[in-house]
Amino acid sequence: MRIKLIGFDSMGTRGMATVIDTGSLKVFIDPGVSLAPRRFGLPPHRIELERLNRHLEMIYDEVMDSDIIVISHYHRDHYLYRIGEEEYYRNKIIYAKHAERDINYSQKIRAYILYNKRGVKNIAKKIEYADNKRYRLDRDVTIEFSPPLPHGPEGTRLGYVIITTLKVGDKIVVHASDVQGPISDATARYIAERSPDILIISGPPTYFKGYKMDEQEIIRGFHNLERIISNLRQGSIVVVDHHLLRDLDYASHLEDIRRVAEERSIEVKTAAEYMGRRPELLEAMRRQLWKDQR
């Protein structure tokens, strides 16, 4: 099994685009990427736009070669939504968050546009609303999806996501988009019960502290992540990225988590580090990028 991480915040764009090659088929989870339209009151810098285009090209190449596409929810950094991008869904099997149930209004509209206005329902090989379902993909490959879980804390207006668990032989990969920690205790229990060998997860949104999210919710996200790590097997890998990597101080926030992980011989990495690269937090650096240009 091979895992390729493409458009993550530690790589300079928003997203959690993940390709898993099982040997017999290729699964692409959340093939999307985007930029924050405004950060620190500033639009994306030229360097961010160039990185976005590079990641989109990589995503397009991987999607063309993929058998299955997974859409965990309908935020634009998690699926292909631009005019013309509908062609990348042609002849693909799509496992997706339900477009009408347990979904907030804005995501419901985006899903409708994708499947109906863009015509994906007519060109995809198959579309399965996968909430709380399990499928056997091959003799030793199964894919399982969680019930709808909150996009962060319980009761959030941002809606729900589904977590993907891919089991290849005796190896388990869990991909947890936008759970933000996880902040939700129910989400933490769900992930812990899967006991993944590799966990790819969105960390707490520390950059929201004090104006969009209560500090106690962010603290709960770190506590839940620590609890999950404390129950993983030795040698497991945890990739923490996305929301947390919009904060230049992300490493200091991970110190306690990494200490617990090291005691259990568990690796905690950003997506960039997992792919052997140095993290580049372009969004969090946007103020400096514009200053340097001036």
Average pLDDT by consecutive 10-residue portion of the chain (294 residues)?
97 98 96 97 98 98 98 98 98 98 97 98 98 96 98 94 97 98 97 98 92 89 97 96 98 96 97 98 97 81
Does residue 294 lie in a domain region? no
Does residue 290 lie in a domain region? no
DSSP code, position 189: H
> How far is CA 281 from each of CA 175, 250, 294, rounded to the nearest angstrom?
21, 10, 20
CA neighbours closer than 13 Å in the CB half-sphere of residue 177: 34
Task: Give the residue from 20, 24, 19, 51 showing the smallest Cα distance to 35.
Answer: 51
Q: Give the three-class secondary structure for 73.
A: coil
In the prediction, which pLDDT does 145 show?
98
DSSP code, position 134: E
Beta pairing, strands 171-176 & 126-129: unpaired
What is the rounded distance in angstroms from the CA atom of residue 131 to the CA atom of residue 237? 26
Does residue 158 lie in a domain region? yes
Does residue 243 lie in a domain region? yes
CA 188 to chain centre: 16
Does residue 196 lie in a domain region? yes
Q: C-alpha angle 102/104/109, rounded to 5°? A: 110
List, as one string, the DSSP characters of 202-243.
EPP-GGGBTTTB-HHHHHHHHHHHHHHHHTSPTT-EEEEEGG
DSSP code, position 14: B
The structural domain count of the chain equals 1
For residue 294, count other CB atoms closer than 10 A to its CB: 4
Range of the domain at 186: 2-285
Tokens describing residue 199: 């966990």
What is the rounded distance in angstroms from the CA atom of residue 46 to the CA atom of residue 4? 26
Report pTM: 0.97
Does residue 292 lie in a domain region? no
In the prediction, which pLDDT does 213 show?
84
Does residue 175 lie in a domain region? yes
Tokens describing residue 128: 């399965």
Question: Residue 102 belongs to a domain with what CATH number?
Answer: 3.60.15.10
Does residue 254 lie in a domain region? yes
